Amino acid sequence: MQVTIRATENYDFQGLYDLYRQEPVACQMLNLPNQSLHTWEKRLANISSNVHSFVALMDTDDDYQIIGNAALTVANSPRRQHTGELIIAVKEEFWRMGVGNQLMQQMIDLVDNWLNLQRIELTVYTDNEHAIELYRKFGFDIEGEAKKFAFRNGEFVDAYYMARVKGSQ
């Protein structure tokens, strides 16, 4: 499988809409499921300069398919501009096939070699074992646990706060 990682473009809204509306993906995110295509189009048209986003593409016969996304939001506060908040999502049929790994490598390169961020933070549900394994592989540590963090599929779920601090791996 040939996967290409590139910067997210405004015209990627359809592919991101398709990715994030998959139930297994939506269940791991804080977005409400079934957001409209128009919402995704507006989101990409108005992306802030402190957001850095990549898509993972799989070449098909005559086009490409977005199979993953990673986005990093650099903090605006002058006292936290050394920090970025990360989200990552991969289509279910491509889980455990290295797509998340490739997205993470691209993001870590950006953070360490271009943005000079000292800290990357993320939140992950405690039952998302594969994601936690990926984050640990890239030097993320659990810094805390939030009980009843979010409401998902009719029940409250817990989440971990994880971070990768440069120089402490």
Where are the domains positioned within the chain? 3-122
Q: What is the pLDDT of residue 169?
A: 65
Q: Give the model confidence (pLDDT) of 99-122 as tens digits.
A: 999 999 999 999 999 999 999 999
Q: Which two tokens stand for residue 162?
A: 């994880």
CA distance 60 to 2: 10
How much is the pLDDT for 46?
A: 81
For residues 55 and 47, the model is more confident at 55
Give the max Cα distance, the chain: 48
Q: Is the pLDDT of residue 16 over 70?
A: yes
Q: Which CATH architecture has domain 3-122?
A: 3-Layer(aba) Sandwich (3.40)
Smallest Cα–Cα separation from 138: which of 166, 118, 161, 96?
A: 166
- Has this prediction a pTM greater than 0.75? yes
Give mean pLDDT, residues 131-155.
96
Assign 40 a pLDDT band (cuts: 50, 70, 90): confident
**Is 34 a residue whose pLDDT tops 80?**
no
**Integer-rounded Cα radius of gyration of the chain:** 16
Q: How many CA atoms lie within 13 A of 29 on its CB side?
A: 22
